[in-house]
Amino acid sequence: MPAVADPFADSALLARFAGLTRPELEALQLDKLRRQLQRLAVTSPYYATKMAEGGIDPDRITSLDAFAERFPTSSKAEFLTDQTEHPPFGARLGIPRSEVALVNMTGGTSGQGQEIYGRSQRDVHQLGYLHALPWVMGGLRAGDVAMNCVPAGGMTTGGWGPGEGLRIIGATAFHVGGGMSTDAKIDLMAKIGGMNFIYASTNYLHTLTEGLLNRGLVPRDAFPNMHGLFIAAEGYPLEWAEKIEAHWGCRLQEGYGSTQCNGFGGSTGSAGVFGRDGARGLIRLFEWETMFEIVDPVTGAPTPSGEVGEMVITNLSVEGSPVIRFRTGDAARYVAHEDAGTGQVWKSIEAGSIGRFDDMMKIRGNNVWPSAIDAAVFAHSEVGDYAGRVYTEGGKTEVEMRLALAEHCAGLDAEERKRILNSVKQAVKTRTNVLMTIIEVSRTELPEFAYKARRWKDERQQGYRL
């Protein structure tokens, strides 16, 4: 695979933070945290109330542990209530309304509602910086040709951050997300020729790769100068990642980010999504900007290294609508810096396995995660995409998966198609302990996802309506 530039040699900022000891990093976090809370005690009634509830004096916080033990968490539901009572930004806004330079909203994919965030001018600059960081770590440099497949503009953080980040780096950016079809994107890529870097959701990189292969184009041959594929937003099976790297001839990289992080909060960097012995790699967290806790979602106790917990985040320098001990609902496997073997003292989370606690479906007594189903399905290179639903019929829970084979499998006979569907069915059963009905359909009968894929619908409540 193409060699990737050393980000710590090329970036004085990254070199500085990579060179810190753990005590030095935590001292920096504590100093920034004190200043953030001192400011919010005066400017944000929401957080002033939270501090009062925890009996916290910002001037007397002596440790990060004491802060985590006493400062109450916030949830999405609390933020939604706050902004309803104090529209549009809620009482948590930390700057005067006149200083709001940009408005961001969450995507609303949880179905609970959209949080509204006001950004200061500094926050907008940070938004770009937090998108540029992981791409510099991944080898993107000034003058490189980069294609951003995430829809640009709009109200989301992800709509604004990529453009700012690519501009900061000095890359030649083509923003093709949203209004351009996959075929049109491929036509443009062919015209450009010297493509170096692609940013896309996990789901869309799958769609783009499938589109190229359907045209008889092998990505590694069509774009030999590609040195970075960067994904975010969704988990994936390692079998899929292996095939993507083989098709493109370069490393697959991943970032963890959110509106609450004001961009990316961590990245695999050029090391990519694979670790030792073909295991999952690590997303190293940018702890000097965002403080991360990984906790038990029930007890709130810190999760031991190697275990899955809920991500709780605190912005250390966001001005407009900062989050302080916000419960993200994101499920991630935590890896302490002592166990990471990365050479840095930053906390890490496992790449490719980040999910949502509220995505889990209880089916016939089993805890079923969509990411586990994806892992079983997309381990089969013959699969183009799928969609599923859980419903009730005659008082029984039924599970149906509609599956489309990839276009390069169009010539397979009925017997081979049946073999593939049975293989998928057994793989899903092995991973979830749930037997599903699988129906082959045309790709046109399945939904298209330009960014995050929501492949599952739980229709069980409808089955009980009279």
Residue of 154, 187, 188 whose CA lies nearest to 172: 188
Q: What pLDDT does residue 463 have? A: 40
pLDDT of 110: 52
Asked if residue 1 has pLDDT above 90, the reply is: no
Task: Please determine, for residue 385, whether its predicted confidence score (pLDDT) is greater than 70.
Answer: yes
- Both structure tokens of 75: 């949830």
Residue 187 CA neighbour count, 13 Å, CB half: 5
Indicate the class that CATH gives domain 361-464.
Answer: alpha beta
DSSP state of 344: S
CA 170 from centroid of its chain's CA atoms: 24
Q: Give the largest Cα separation in the chain, rounded.
A: 72
Q: Are 220 and 362 in contact (CB under 8 A)?
A: no
For residue 196, what is the DSSP state?
-
- Please report, for the chain, the start and end positions of each structural domain, with discontinuous segments joined by +: 1-356, 361-464
Peptide bond into 88 cis (omega under 30): yes
The amino acid present at 269, given as its one-letter code, is G
pLDDT in tens, 90-146: 999 999 999 999 999 987 655 568 999 999 999 999 999 999 999 999 999 999 999
Banded model confidence at residue 5, pLDDT cuts 50, 70, 90: low
CA-based R_g, the chain, Å = 23
Structure confidence by residue, pLDDT tens digits, 235-269 = 788 888 999 999 999 999 999 999 999 999 999 99
Given a cut of 90, whether residue 234 has pLDDT beyond it is: no
348-376: per-residue pLDDT in tens? 999 998 888 777 787 877 878 788 898 88
CATH level 3 topology of 1-356:
Rossmann fold (3.40.50)
* CA pair distance 29, 197, nearest whole angstrom: 32
Q: Which residue has the tokens 């961009």?
A: 263
Burial state string for 116-130 with b = 16 or more CB within 10 A and e = fewer than 16 = bbbbbeebbebbbbb
pLDDT of residue 466: 33
Best CA proximity match to 238, nearest among 277, 202, 209, 279: 279
Q: For 71-192, where are the alpha helices, taking DSSP H only?
A: 76-85, 121-137, 157-169, 182-192
Whole-number pLDDT of residue 436: 94
Q: What is the mean pLDDT of the chain?
A: 91
pLDDT score, position 465: 38
Q: How confident is the model at residue 414 (pLDDT cuts 50, 70, 90)?
A: very high
pLDDT of residue 381: 85
Let me know: does 94 contact 317? Beta carbons within 8 Å.
no
Element (H, E) at 53: helix 45-54
- Tens digit of pLDDT for each residue in 173-201? 999 987 889 999 999 999 998 999 999 98
The mean pLDDT value for 442-462 works out to: 78
Which alpha helices (DSSP H) does 215-270 contain, by range?
219-222, 238-248
**Helix 238-248 with 202-214: angle, nearest 10 deg:** 50
Give, in order, the Cα–Cα distances in Å from 326 to each of 72, 334, 352. 9, 17, 22
Give tens-digit pLDDT for 262-302.
999 999 999 999 998 889 999 999 999 999 999 999 999 99
pTM score, whole prediction = 0.83
